[in-house]
């Protein structure tokens, strides 16, 4: 086959879509390019699929979807949007742009902060902060003694005492029962 005949055969191939065998071969090449564990095999399969699609005058995406999309005549678009719709569209576009700007700005800030930490920014402060034991509020009472005082000196419901002291409701009930046995034991001894 001469060069001219080969070119004519390519021209004929461009004018027709894939037949069943070619479509199967194309899909097998794409599958191999996606699933092969070997990089060279993936590259070779993808290159072969591109050549096959090019031979038929299609892009890789067009060939994968079954052929070139038919060209539809486009009608000129007539905008029927009134001033309110145009203003709403402009406001929505501005809000979208603002959201993108904020997200990009946050990403830039986070990246700059991460780079600064890598360079050692505030390394000594962060090291000292992590070495310190958490400070305990000196005015906070022991939950058991606090609950005991509240049970003896107030008529607060046990659920509120539990919430206030951080003790489980069953612990508060247990304290209440122990206080009762202590009171009854002190009465008997008198």
Q: What is the pLDDT of residue 12?
A: 47
CA distance 176 to 158: 9
- The tens digit of pLDDT for each residue in 33-78 reads 888 888 888 899 889 988 988 888 888 888 777 765 556 667 666 6
CA distance 89 to 45: 46
CB 150: neighbour CB atoms within 10 A?
A: 19
| CA angle (48 as vertex; 45, 51 as ends), nearest 5 | 155
pLDDT band at 163 (very low <50, low <70, confident <90, very high): very high
Radius of gyration of the chain (CA): 39
pLDDT band at 128 (very low <50, low <70, confident <90, very high): low
Percent pLDDT > 90 in the chain is: 19
82-114 CB burial, b ≥16 within 10 A, e <16: eeeeeeeeeeeeeeeeeeeeeeeeeeeeeeeee
């Amino acid at each position: 086959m001469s060069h001219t005949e080969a070119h004519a055969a390519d021209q004929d191939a461009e004018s027709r879509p894939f037949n069943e065998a070619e479509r199967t071969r194309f899909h097998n090449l794409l599958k191999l390019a996606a699933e092969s564990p070997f990089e060279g095999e993936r590259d070779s399969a993808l290159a072969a699929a591109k050549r096959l699609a090019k031979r038929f005058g299609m892009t890789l995406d067009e060939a994968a979807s079954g052929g070139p999309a038919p060209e539809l005549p486009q009608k000129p678009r007539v905008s029927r949007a009134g001033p309110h719709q145009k203003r709403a569209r402009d406001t929505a576009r501005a809000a979208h742009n603002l959201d993108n700007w904020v997200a990009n700005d946050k990403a830039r800030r986070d990246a700059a902060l991460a780079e600064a930490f890598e360079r050692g920014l505030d390394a000594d402060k962060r090291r000292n902060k992590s070495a310190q034991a958490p400070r305990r509020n000196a005015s906070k009472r022991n939950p058991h003694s606090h609950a005991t005082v509240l049970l003896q000196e107030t008529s607060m419901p046990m659920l509120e005492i539990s919430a206030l002291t951080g003790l489980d409701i069953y612990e508060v009930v247990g304290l209440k029962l122990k206080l009762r046995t202590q009171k009854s034991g002190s009465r008997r001894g008198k």
